[in-house]
């Protein structure tokens, strides 16, 4: 019985690694699509990169459902299931934000003005850096290699920095001579971009709580 449960638990952990791999690919294509919008790349096609983002987001969703089915068929101790599913559902918000941002840019035909491009790049670099750290943190959690707690403060610091950049961006947009409707659209885009670091911080704190529970 115990060997059966152990095998299923190892399978769950393997699937979580697969899920994180697809999350990395989702982030990679999302970053490529944003570079087109920020005029960092003219060779890549936005629609292709956005579609690839969607494909890997969907693959990650499928793996998450497979993990859920395994866990609720006695793959893990009952008290572990809620924590792990809560963690994965919190992680899954992030590729959803990626998809939302790309849909906003495409459907609303958003053009990012040159005067806010440097701050947008800084906001995205910090936010996506937090996502990278968050993925490393979750890998450390399930591989039981330590280092989970160390990354919490860095991700939290990034989130605070992103909040300041977000406020600066919104102020600069509304101080500009842009059309009022364009200002509102850009504000929504900036706030949604800020949600990436906010969610990475929430996930990081969840992972840290799970790690601490193991030592109790």
Convert the pLDDT of each residue in 35-61 to its tens digit: 888 875 554 688 888 888 989 889 888
At residue 67 the predicted structure's pLDDT band, cuts being 50, 70 and 90, is: confident
Neighbour count for residue 42 (Cβ, 10 Å): 8
pLDDT value of residue 74: 62
Q: Is residue 109 classed exposed, middle or buried when 0-12, 13-18 and 19+ CB atoms within 10 A define those classes?
A: exposed
Dist. CA 65–CA 2, nearest whole Å = 24
At residue 2 the predicted structure's pLDDT band, cuts being 50, 70 and 90, is: very low
pLDDT value of residue 6: 54
Name the more confident of 80 and 167: 167
For residue 123, pLDDT over 90 is answered with yes
pLDDT value of residue 3: 47
- Residues 6 or more apart from 8 whose CB is under 8 A from it? 70, 73, 74, 75, 76
pLDDT value of residue 79: 52
pLDDT value of residue 5: 45
Name the more confident of 163 and 75: 163
pLDDT digits (tens, 9 = 90+) for 125-169: 999 999 999 999 999 888 877 778 888 999 999 999 999 999 999
What is the pTM assigned to this prediction? Answer: 0.88
At residue 4 the predicted structure's pLDDT band, cuts being 50, 70 and 90, is: very low
pLDDT value of residue 143: 82
Mean pLDDT, all residues of the chain: 87
Q: Where are the alpha helices (DSSP H) in 38-147?
A: 46-70, 78-107, 117-143
Q: What per-residue string of b and e applies to 13-22 under the rule 16 or more CB within 10 Å gives b? A: bebbeebbbb
Q: What is the DSSP letter of 77?
A: -
Q: In the predicted model, what is the mean pLDDT of residues 170-178?
A: 95
pLDDT value of residue 183: 95
End-to-end CA distance of the chain: 26
Token reading at 64? 């998450």
For residue 78, pLDDT over 60 is answered with no
For residue 62, pLDDT over 50 is answered with yes
For residue 102, pLDDT over 90 is answered with yes
In CATH, the number for domain 2-215 is: 1.20.58.220
């Amino acid at each position: 019985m115990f060997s059966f449960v152990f095998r299923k638990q190892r399978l769950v952990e393997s699937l979580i690694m697969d899920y994180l791999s697809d999350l990395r690919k989702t982030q990679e294509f999302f970053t490529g699509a944003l570079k087109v919008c920020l005029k960092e790349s003219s060779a890549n096609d936005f629609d292709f990169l956005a579609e690839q983002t969607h494909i890997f987001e969907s693959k990650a969703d499928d793996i998450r459902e497979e993990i859920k089915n395994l866990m609720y068929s006695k793959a893990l101790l009952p008290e572990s299931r809620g924590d792990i599913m809560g963690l994965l559902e919190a992680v899954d918000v992030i590729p959803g934000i990626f998809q939302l941002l790309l849909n906003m840019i495409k459907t609303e035909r958003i053009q990012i003005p040159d005067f806010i491009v440097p701050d947008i790049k800084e906001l995205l670099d910090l936010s996506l850096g937090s996502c990278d750290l968050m993925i490393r943190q979750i890998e450390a959690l399930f591989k039981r290699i330590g280092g989970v707690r160390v990354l919490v403060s860095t991700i939290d610091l990034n989130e605070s920095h992103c909040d300041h950049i977000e406020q600066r961006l919104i102020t600069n947009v509304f101080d500009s001579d842009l059309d009022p409707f364009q200002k509102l659209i850009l504000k929504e885009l900036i706030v949604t971009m800020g949600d990436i670091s906010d969610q990475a911080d929430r996930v990081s704190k969840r992972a840290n709580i799970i790690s601490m529970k193991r030592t109790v």
